[in-house]
Amino acid sequence: MSNYKVLLAGDTALVVEFGDSIDPQLSAKVLSLARRLNELRPEGLVETVPTIRSLIVYYEPLVLSTAALERQISELMQDLQGTEQPGRIWQLPACYDARVALDLADVAARTGLSQAQLVERHSSVTYHVYMLGFLPGLAYLGDVPRELVLPRRENPRPSIPAGSIGIASSMTCLYPMETPCGWHIIARSPAPLWDQRSETGALLAPGDHVRFEPVSLREYEGLLTRTKEGSLRIEPHHEPLGATA
C-alpha cells in the first residue's frame, strides 16, 4: 500500500497527500486514485482535482460523510499501483524567436548554452502534464533537462501574452491567457489551450504528454491567426513522440 496521509480542507474537501516532491511516480499514484474514485463514483462525490503530489477530493458532506469517504479512500489505496497510465500525446507548435521569447537570451546566458542549444534542449523532451491550475487550462509540465533548472525571476512581470511558455525550477508551463508571471518566458505557442466553448475547456489534462515542435515566427503568426479564427484544430497523437529525457 502506498504511503499517504489524508488532510481536511474545510468541510467539503479532503486532500490525499502522497509526498513532498515533484516526481512522475507520485503523479501516477495521484492520477490512479483519481481514476478509481471517479470510476467508483460514490454518491456525494463532487469532483477530484489532481495536483503535483496530492489529490483534492470535493464532496457533499450531507450525502457522503467524511469518515465514509476516508474509508473508501483507504480501501482504494490497498493495491494502488504507481505505474503511469497512458495519457494522450500532443505535439504543440512553439516559437522560440526572440521577439516572442522574452527571456530566451537571458536564460541562454545564465545556463551557458547558446540560444540554439537552449531551444534544442527544451524541445527534445516529452513532458508529463502534472496538473492544471492557477488559471483555467494552465498546464504544469515536467521535467525540464537538468541544465535548464532555474529559480523564478527576481522581478515578476505584471503581464505576459497568452500562449507564453515559461520555465522555473524543474518545470515548464503553458499559459493559456494573459496573466502576471514570474517564470522565464522562452517561447510562445499559438495552440488553442483554452476554449470555453468546448466541453472540457482545457486542451490538456493531467496525465497527458506534450512535446514542443519549434516553428518560425512566420509560422507562429499564421497558426495564431487560425486560432483566433477558430479554425486551428490540434489532435492528440496515437504513437509516442520519443523517449522522455
* pLDDT one-digit tens code per residue, 71-87: 999 999 988 876 656 68
pLDDT on residue 69? 96
pLDDT on residue 30? 92
Angle of CA points 232, 233, 236, to nearest 5°: 145
Nearest to 90 by CA among 2, 205, 181, 182: 205
pLDDT on residue 245? 39
Domain limits of the chain?
5-77, 89-229
Confidence of residue 111 (pLDDT cuts 50, 70, 90): very high
User: Pairing relation of β-strands 89-95 and 157-160?
Assistant: unpaired
Confidence of residue 195 (pLDDT cuts 50, 70, 90): confident
Phi, psi angle pair for 35, to nearest 5°: -60, -45
CATH of 89-229 given 3.30.1330.80, 3.40.50.880, 2.40.100.10, 2.40.50.1020: 2.40.100.10
Query: Does the 5-77 domain belong in CATH 3.40.47.10?
Result: no
Averaged pLDDT of the chain: 91
pLDDT on residue 201? 81
pLDDT on residue 244? 41
Q: Which residues contact 230 (CB under 8 A, 6 or more apart)?
A: none
Nearest to 69 by CA among 39, 51, 45: 45
pLDDT on residue 239? 62
pTM value > 0.75: yes
| 52, burial (CB in 10 Å: exposed 0-12, middle 13-18, buried 19+) | buried
Q: How far is CA 112 from CA 116, 118, 161, in A?
A: 12, 9, 27
pLDDT on residue 83? 61
